[in-house]
C-alpha cells in the first residue's frame, strides 16, 4: 500500500501517471502528518516507543511532532482525560487548522476505560470528534501503527478540502 | 517499636490522648479533636520525639460502619529524621461538626494535605491559611471521596453528563 507502483502500475513503462487532484492531495496529506501529542498519562510511554527509532513512526510520514496545535493536523490524545482537563483539550482542538484529524490513543480516551468515577471523561468523543480509535491499555506499538495506517487510508479516501 | 512510641505519647499527654492502637505493627495514638495542634506542636519540638516531618495527612469516612458512632477520622503520619521513628495520630471528627484545627502553622507541608482532605472529604481545617480545593475545579459540588457521594455522579465542565 502506498507505493507509487501500486497507485499507477504503468508508471515504469510510460514514465508518467494519471490521477485525480483529489487523490494526489490525499496521497500528499497522508504521508505528511504533523501530529500534536496530547499526552496525559501512561499511554505516553507507548507513544514514545512508537515514535522512537525501534518502531519509527517516521516511516509513515508522521515523525514530526509539533508542539503547537496551530502547526499540526493530527491530534493524538494519549491518556486519560479528566473533566478538569476537558476544556483544555477542546481548546487545543479548536486551535488546530483544517484539515484536521483526531486519534483516540488508548482505552481511556476511547471510552474512559476502567475509570468510572467523578473525575474521568467517558471517552473524548463526548467532547471532540474522533477519526480513529486505538484501544488497549496501553496499545502496543504495532497496534498504534495499525491505527495510523487506518487513519492514512481514511485521509486518502476522503474528499480533500483545499 | 512504634506501639511503644504511641504509649509514650499517651504518657506524655494524658489529658489530650484518649488511647493507643496497634494497627498492623504501627502505633496509633488517638488524640482529642480540640488538642491536635497542641499535641503536634509539642511533639515536633520535644527532645524525646522530635517529629520534624509530617509524612502524610488524610481522612477516612466510616459511614455505614455500625460499630462506629463517629463518622470521620483524620490521620497524621509523623516521622522523625533525627530519631528515626514514626507514629500515627488519629482524630475522630463527628459529622455534626466536620472541623479540625489546622496543623499548617506547625508543619507548612500540611497546607496541601489539608486542602486535599478538604477537597475530597469536606473536612474543614480551622486556621488554615488558604483552604480551597486543590484537585477538583471551582464549581464542583460535594466532596468526591465521601461514601455518600455516588461513585458515578458526574459534574463535567464541558460535555454531556455521561
Which residue in B has a C-alpha nearest to residue A119's C-alpha?
B154
The pLDDT value given to residue B40: 94
- CB contact under 8 Å between B160 and A119, yes or no, is no
- Cell matching residue B17: 490522648
The pLDDT value given to residue A9: 74
Does residue A16 lie within any of the structural domains? Answer: no
- CB contact under 8 Å between B151 and A121, yes or no, is no
Report the Cα A37 to chain-centroid distance in Å: 9
The pLDDT > 90 percentage for chain A reads 70
Q: Give the total residue count for chain B.
A: 162
The pLDDT value given to residue A1: 47
- CB contact under 8 Å between B136 and A87, yes or no, is no
- Of A83, A118, A122, which to mutate for an interface test with B (greatest number of B Cβ within 10 Å)? A118
How does A149-161 read in b/e, with b if 16+ C-beta sit within 10 Å?
A: eebbeebbeeebe
Does residue A57 lie within any of the structural domains? Answer: yes
User: Would an 8 Å CB–CB cutoff place A91 in contact with chain B?
Assistant: no
DSSP B49-64: T---EEEEEEEEE-TT
Does residue A22 lie within any of the structural domains? Answer: no
The pLDDT value given to residue A65: 87
* pLDDT 10s digits, A100-137: 999 999 999 999 889 988 999 999 999 999 999 999 99
Domain count of the fold of chain A: 1
User: Would an 8 Å CB–CB cutoff place B134 in contact with chain A?
Assistant: no
Answer yes or no: are the C-beta atoms of A44 and A53 closer than 8 Å.
no
Q: Write the CB contacts of B128 (distance below 8 Å, at least 6 apart in sequence).
A: B102, B104, B111, B114, B115, B118
CB atoms within 10 A of CB A40: 18
* pLDDT 10s digits, A4-24: 667 677 777 888 878 889 999
Does residue A98 lie within any of the structural domains? Answer: yes
Does residue A48 lie within any of the structural domains? Answer: yes
What is the mean predicted confidence (pLDDT) over B89-99?
94
- CB contact under 8 Å between A119 and B144, yes or no, is yes
Q: Which of B136, B151, B160 sits opposite A126 (nearest CB)?
A: B160
What is the extent of the structural domain holding A146?
Answer: 30-153
Give the domain CATH number at A63: 3.40.50.12280
pLDDT at A87 over 80: yes
Single pTM value for the model: 0.85
Q: Write the CB contacts of A47 (distance below 8 Å, at least 6 apart in sequence).
A: A37, A39, A76, A78, A105, A144
Give the CB-side neighbour count of residue A50, counting CA atoms within 13 A.
28
First-residue to last-residue Cα distance in chain B: 50
Does residue A62 lie within any of the structural domains? Answer: yes
pLDDT band at A54 (very low <50, low <70, confident <90, very high): very high
Does residue A143 lie within any of the structural domains? Answer: yes
pLDDT band at A2 (very low <50, low <70, confident <90, very high): low
Contacts of A117 in chain B (CB under 8 A): 144, 151-152
User: Would an 8 Å CB–CB cutoff place B23 in contact with chain A?
Assistant: no
Chain A: closest CA distance from residue B121 (Å): 14
Q: Which domains does chain B have, with CATH numbers?
A: 2-126 (3.30.460.80)
The pLDDT value given to residue B162: 65
Q: What angle do CA B153, B158, B162 make, to 5 degrees?
A: 35
Q: Which of B137, B157, B159 sits opposite A126 (nearest CB)?
A: B159
Chains A–B, number of C-beta pairs less than 8 Å apart: 41
The pLDDT value given to residue A7: 65
pLDDT at A3 over 70: no
What is the mean predicted confidence (pLDDT) over A24-32?
91
The pLDDT > 90 percentage for chain B reads 82
* Residue bearing the bigger pLDDT, B22 or A14: B22
Does residue A56 lie within any of the structural domains? Answer: yes
User: Would an 8 Å CB–CB cutoff place B68 in contact with chain A?
Assistant: no
Q: Write the CB contacts of B18 (distance below 8 Å, at least 6 apart in sequence).
A: B30, B31, B32
Amino acid at each position: 500500500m502506498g507505493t507509487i507502483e501500486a497507485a499507477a502500475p504503468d508508471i515504469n513503462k510510460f514514465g508518467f501517471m494519471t490521477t485525480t487532484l483529489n487523490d494526489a492531495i490525499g496521497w500528499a496529506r497522508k504521508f505528511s502528518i504533523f501530529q500534536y501529542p496530547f499526552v496525559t498519562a501512561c499511554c505516553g510511554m507507548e507513544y514514545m516507543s512508537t515514535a522512537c527509532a525501534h518502531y519509527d513512526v517516521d516511516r509513515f510520514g508522521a515523525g514530526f511532532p509539533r508542539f503547537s496545535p496551530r502547526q499540526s493536523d493530527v491530534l493524538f490524545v494519549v491518556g486519560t482525560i479528566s473533566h478538569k482537563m476537558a476544556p483544555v483539550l477542546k481548546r487545543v482542538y479548536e486551535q488546530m487548522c483544517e484539515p484536521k484529524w483526531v486519534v483516540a490513543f488508548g482505552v481511556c480516551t476511547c471510552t474512559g476505560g476502567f475509570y468510572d468515577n467523578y473525575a474521568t471523561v467517558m471517552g473524548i468523543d463526548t467532547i471532540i470528534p474522533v477519526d480513529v480509535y486505538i484501544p488497549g491499555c496501553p496499545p502496543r506499538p504495532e497496534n498504534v501503527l495499525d491505527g495510523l495506517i487506518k487513519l492514512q487510508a481514511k485521509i486518502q479516501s476522503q474528499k480533500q478540502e483545499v | 517499636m512504634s506501639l511503644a512510641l504511641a504509649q509514650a505519647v499517651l504518657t506524655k499527654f494524658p489529658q489530650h490522648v484518649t488511647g493507643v492502637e496497634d494497627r498492623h505493627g504501627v502505633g496509633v495514638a488517638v488524640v482529642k479533636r480540640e488538642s491536635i495542634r497542641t499535641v503536634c506542636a509539642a511533639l515536633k519540638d520535644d527532645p524525646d520525639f522530635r517529629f520534624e516531618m509530617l509524612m502524610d495527612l488524610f481522612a477516612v469516612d466510616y459511614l455505614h460502619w455500625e460499630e462506629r458512632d463517629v463518622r470521620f477520622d483524620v490521620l497524621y503520619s509523623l516521622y522523625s529524621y533525627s530519631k528515626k521513628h514514626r507514629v500515627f495520630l488519629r482524630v475522630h471528627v463527628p459529622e455534626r461538626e466536620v472541623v479540625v484545627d489546622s496543623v499548617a502553622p506547625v508543619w507548612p507541608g500540611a497546607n496541601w494535605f489539608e486542602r486535599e482532605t478538604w477537597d475530597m472529604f469536606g473536612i474543614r481545617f480551622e486556621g488554615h491559611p488558604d483552604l480551597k480545593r486543590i484537585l477538583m475545579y471551582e464549581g464542583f459540588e460535594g466532596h468526591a471521596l465521601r461514601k455518600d457521594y455516588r461513585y458515578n455522579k458526574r459534574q463535567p465542565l464541558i460535555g454531556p453528563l455521561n
